[in-house]
Amino acid sequence: MASKATAVWTGSLKEGKGTITTATGVLHNASYSFATRFEGAASGTTPEEMIAAAHASCFSMALGAQLGGAGFTPDKIETEAAVTLAKTDGGFAVTRIALTTTAKVPGASKEAFDKAAADAKAGCPISKLFANNTEITLNAKLE
């Protein structure tokens, strides 16, 4: 199974602009630029924002799977991922991903939830992608 997206960039780094389109059409000519990535411009996305969306959704699904395997059905799992892009000795890099999740899981103890959350963090494919080169933190709360 392969998921696909296309990015088109025109112009120089600082003055140029780009668009991103996913095969599913969820993103269609979504804009991105130097200004959105490095200067905080409000219109457009960034590669790091898309990584954050991918990690938040992947972790939420993995937590749902872990809870299901433990016999619990979550009413709701809400995860935020904050991806930090920083300048390092080797250039810019994703240096940290902070996951914050809150879940409502009827019947689950704090211990069962914490184990499921830790296992989801370790097993989520996006976590695995970054595990050896990026700090990944998790703040998980059971409502």
23 and 91 part of one domain: no
Mark whether 14 and 59 lie in a shared domain.
no
Does one domain contain both 121 and 67? Answer: yes
Question: Does 54 share its domain with 33?
Answer: no
pLDDT in the model for residue 1:
86
Quote the pTM value.
Answer: 0.93
The CATH number of whichever domain residue 57 belongs to comes to: 3.30.300.20
Same domain, residue pair 30 and 74: no
Task: Using alpha carbons, select from 36, 34, 54, 21 the residue that is nearest to residue 130.
Answer: 54
Residues 69 and 132 in one domain: yes
Does residue 86 share a domain with residue 63?
yes
**Residues 63, 129 share a domain:** yes
Number of domains in the chain: 2
What pLDDT score was predicted for residue 67? Answer: 98
Q: Does 60 share its domain with 108?
A: yes
What's the Cα-to-Cα distance from 7 to each of 23, 92, 105, 131, rounded to whole Å?
A: 11, 20, 39, 26
What is the extent of the structural domain holding 114? Answer: 47-142
HEC profile for the chain? CCCCEEEEEECCCCCCEEEEEECCCCCCCEEECHHHHHCCCCCCECHHHHHHHHHHHHHHHHHHHHHHHCCCCCCEEEEEEEEEEEEECCEEEEEEEEEEEEEECCCCCHHHHHHHHHHHHHHCHHHHHHCCCCEEEEEEEEC
Residue ranges in the chain modelled with pLDDT below 70: none
What are the CA-CA distances from residue 12 to residues 16, 41, 46, 72, 102 (Å)? Answer: 5, 17, 17, 52, 42
pLDDT score for 60: 98
